[in-house]
Structure 1
Amino acid sequence: MDKHEKDKLLEQIMIDHGSELVRLAFTYVKDKETAKDMVQNAFVKCYENLDGFRHDAQLKTWLYRITINQCKDYLKSWHYKKVKTLHSIQETAKSFLPSTENKVVDYYEKQEIYEHVSSLPDKYREVIYLYYFKSLKIEEISEMTNIQLNTVKTRLKRAKKKLKIKLEEAEVYG
């Protein structure tokens, strides 16, 4: 594949999958701009490895895997831990302002279920998000995340149970 064909293919991939990958990345990094950066890095990796893509998996699955791995690497990084600590301090300071408090309450009311999903531990949030919000099959989740099929099933079952309890406690469910 020549450079022009490769450029055109990447452009089409970005159009077809960009927004979806940003939403996926956001579930990991919880920041819109960082999610965009993760997807941009994923597209760079995609471009660099496009000639080696064997079509063993669907392109979408391959892109999800690259994006998920990019996000996981970021979350393990020193930079993320430093930014997270700084953000926590800033949020604590903001919480003393009445208008900010009202905005936060409004936001959480609108996003209640999503927030409950987001509060799950990473390993459960990941499978819930991919299964319910992205409508992926368990087999696809296993392939994308490099987690064994039975582990995905177990995590999904445990995630549903934890989520049900959270929603019942918040009087959103049942």
Structure 2
Amino acid sequence: MELQRMLKVYGNDVLRLCTLYLKDRHLAEDALQETFIKVWQKYHTYLGQANEKTWIMRIAINVCKNYLRTAWIKRNSVVQIEDIVKASQCQFRHIEESVDLLNAILTLKEKYRVVLLLYYYQEFTVKEIAEILDKKQSTVLSLMKRGREQLKQKLQTNYMEGERYEF
């Protein structure tokens, strides 16, 4: 069945994205299920104009945004950084560095956080990110540049305050 193929091919990427976006492994698993239910329900509307993976990721981001809009989530959101690092399968030298870096990324405004997570953790191209977010490539590049600048400031501040991350 087509749904099984998509779940096998894209399931881990969607789960990582949802975990990074929602900052909660259990909510991410729920979002994964809801994403593929929507994919199954709406597959007939997929026109093939965008890459199948970017189309599915766009649905996943919309599902995550809907989760974050609920009042219960806003009140009860708990960041589980270790789960997020495991879900993102970071290849850093030290897990502490991964946690510090991810903590800094997660404190950025959503518009910067999303493009950085999609680019560095999901390894999408700028063009694919533009398609997923329905923005121009130049806008995505600007958001990435500003996000990296803010991230650099946060990491320098943490370094100056004696935290572990080294440049």
Q: Give the structure-2-normalised TM-score.
A: 0.80
Residue identity in the other structure for 1:60: K
Structure 2: any 5+ residue segments left out of the alignment? 80-94, 160-164
Aligned to 1:27: 20
Q: How many Å apart are 1:120 and its aligned residue?
A: 1.2
| Match 2:53 to one of 60, 79, 82 | 60
Aligned to 1:17: 10
Give identity over the alignment, percent.
31
Q: Distance in 2 between matches of 1:68 and 1:149?
A: 18
- Residues 60-89 of structure 1 show CA distances to partners (whole Å, capped at 9, x for unaligned) of 0001000001101111122322323xx59x
- Residues 18-55 of structure 1 show CA distances to partners (whole Å, capped at 9, x for unaligned) of 11101101111110010011111010010011122111
Q: Distance in 2 between matches of 1:114 and 1:52?
A: 35
Aligned to 1:47: 40
- CA separation of 1:146/1:114 partners in 2, compared to 1, >3 Å: closer, same or farther? same
Structure 1: any 5+ residue segments left out of the alignment? 1-7, 89-106
Q: Distance in 1 between matches of 2:146 and 2:128?
A: 19
Q: How many Å apart are 1:170 and its aligned residue?
A: 2.4
- CA separation of 1:77/1:147 partners in 2, compared to 1, >3 Å: closer, same or farther? farther
- Asked if structure 2 preserves the Cα contact closer than 8 Å seen for 1:164 and 1:173, the reply is no
Aligned to 1:79: 72
Q: Distance in 1 between matches of 2:24 and 2:166?
A: 28
Alignment of 1:103-142 (within 5 A): 111-142=99-130
Q: Distance in 2 between matches of 1:170 and 1:141?
A: 29
Aligned to 1:98: none
Q: Distance in 1 between matches of 2:126 and 2:44?
A: 28
Q: Distance in 1 between matches of 2:96 and 2:23?
A: 14
Which has a greater percent of helix?
Answer: 1
Residue identity in the other structure for 2:28: A
Q: Distance in 1 between matches of 2:96 and 2:69?
A: 27
Q: Distance in 2 between matches of 1:53 and 1:82?
A: 35
Q: How many Å apart are 1:145 and its aligned residue?
A: 1.1
Residue identity in the other structure for 1:61: T
Q: Tell me how many residue pairs correspond in the alignment.
A: 147
Whichever of the two has the greater Rg, that structure is 1
Q: How many Å apart are 1:136 and its aligned residue?
A: 1.4
